[in-house]
Structure formats: C-alpha cells, structure tokens
Amino acid sequence: MANPIILPLKPKTQDKAFTWDDVTWVLLDMDGTLLDKHFDDYFWETLVPQEYARRQGLPLAKAREEVFALYQREEGTLNWTDIDFWSQVLDLDIPALKESIRHLIEVHPEAREFLHYVRRLGKKVILVTNAHYKTLDLKMNHTGLGRYFDEVISSFDLGTPKEDLRFWEILEERLGFDRDRTMLVDDNAGVLATARNYGIKYLFFKAKSSSKEEAEAHPEFVSIVSFRELME
C-alpha cells in the first residue's frame, strides 16, 4: 500500500489522508481547475461588456450592469455556459469573440504534470465540464489536453449541469464508476456539494482557479492550491 498523502488544508467532510490505491476514477473539471480561469473572467467581465456597450451604444458602466444582471439570472443552469444562448441574448458573436482571445487560454502550472501522473498510475481520467461544446473544442484544440482523457464529458451531452444530482446519475450510468473509488477536483463548491450528496468519496476544491486571484481555501472541502499536493 502506498503512503497516504497528508494534505495541508484541513478537511471537514473526509479523511485528511487518501492513498492512490483506493482511487480508480479521476474526474477533473476544466475551467479554473485545469485551465486558468483568468481567460473566462476576462472574457465575461471585461470583453463582453465592452462589446455589448459598443453594440448597444451604451456607456460601459451601464452595459456592465445590464450584462451582469443577465448573467446572474442564469447562474447554475446550462444557459450559463451556453454560448449560443449568449450570442442570441446579447446580440454578439460569442464564439468569434472567444476565438479572438484564444491566446489567453492557459493551462495551470502542474496540471499537465498531474495528468501524466494519473495516467502513469493507470487511473481512468475523465474531463467533466459544464462548458459548451464550442468552448470545449476551442480549449482542447488550443491546449492539446484532450489526449490525456479516457473520456471528455460536457454537461450538454447529459442535458443537465454538474450542480444537478441528475448529472451524476447519468454519468454513473454512462461510465460505470464506483463512487467509493472516485475522486473529483473542481473549483466550484456547489458542484462539489452535489457530488458529495451523490456519494463521490474523494472531493477536492481547487482553491487557486485564476492566476490573477489569491487562492482561497473552502471551509467545507479539502482545498488544494496546486495539483502537486495530490502527487506523491
């Protein structure tokens, strides 16, 4: 049996230690977890309001206010990440705008190393994301991360976001994973809470989601700043 990994940040919902021998399935979120969330923050909080202001002939402050109110309404739903929905609602070509800043898409330091690591251990490695297909394609093409995964699952495939218990039911039917031998790393505590309710055993909160923000540990979940903390 391998030595248990002792994590630096205190957990409330699970044992501090786990061993890789006990894990078969590694489920990983994309944005903020493997990829730097700065891309998404900049896109939705800066670029989209600017373009919306230009398109509608509004002052930037007013445009930001309107756009943010629209975002708020859709949080936790599939619309939230549905870029075709936003193209329509905002009257902007969202895929083209994303494409225009694709050079800002970055993989978190150590994420690639971690993916090599779990593959070497022979784990089943699955990307589970709420991202829309078009966003997923853009990011996988840009980063080349797709080759590390046994499967890439978008919530749009399953018809419901990760915040919904139903997502995990459908995912289990599809993959046949054992909840007791499954790990999930995500930067969204709402998603982790749903996965916990479903019974996924090893849950990790990615506390450093954007290179431009400070890491913030979550009070309810074991928090990691870097994937190195999960490597022996």
So which residues are the catalytic ones?
22
Cα 123–108–132 angle (5° rounding)? Answer: 80
Nearer to Mg ion, 130 or 182 (CB): 130
Beta strands 5-6; 17-18: pairing state: antiparallel
Residue 31 as a binder of Mg ion (CB under 5 A): the answer is: yes
Residue 29 as a binder of Mg ion (CB under 5 A): the answer is: yes
Nearer to Mg ion, 97 or 185 (CB): 185
Question: Phi, psi at residue 153, to the nearest 5°?
Answer: -115, 125
Burial class of residue 1 (count of CB atoms within 10 Å of its CB; 0-12, 13-18, 19+): exposed
Q: Which residues contact 188 (CB under 8 A, 6 or more apart)?
A: 29, 32, 162, 163
Transcribe 193-215 into DSSP letters: HHHHHHT-SEEEEES---TTS--
How many amino acids of this chain bind Mg ion (CB under 5 A)? Answer: 4
Binding segment toward Mg ion, per CB under 5 A, in 51-59, 140-148, 185-193, 215-223: 185-193
Is 129 in a helix, a strand, or coil?
strand
Q: Please, what is the minimum distance in Å from the beta carbon of residue 133 to Mg ion?
A: 16
| Cβ–Cβ under 8 Å, residues 208 and 218 | no
Nearer to Mg ion, 53 or 191 (CB): 191
Binding segment toward Mg ion, per CB under 5 A, in 15-23, 27-35, 68-76, 116-124: 27-35
**Count of residues making up the chain:** 232
Q: Indicate which single residue of 11, 20, 32, 152 sits in contact with Mg ion (rule: CB under 5 A).
A: 32
Nearer to Mg ion, 29 or 51 (CB): 29
Q: Please, what is the minimum distance in Å from the beta carbon of residue 191 to Mg ion?
A: 8
Q: Please, what is the minimum distance in Å from the beta carbon of residue 157 to Mg ion?
A: 17
Residue 161 as a binder of Mg ion (CB under 5 A): the answer is: no
Chain contacts with Mg ion (rule: CB under 5 A): 29, 31-32, 187
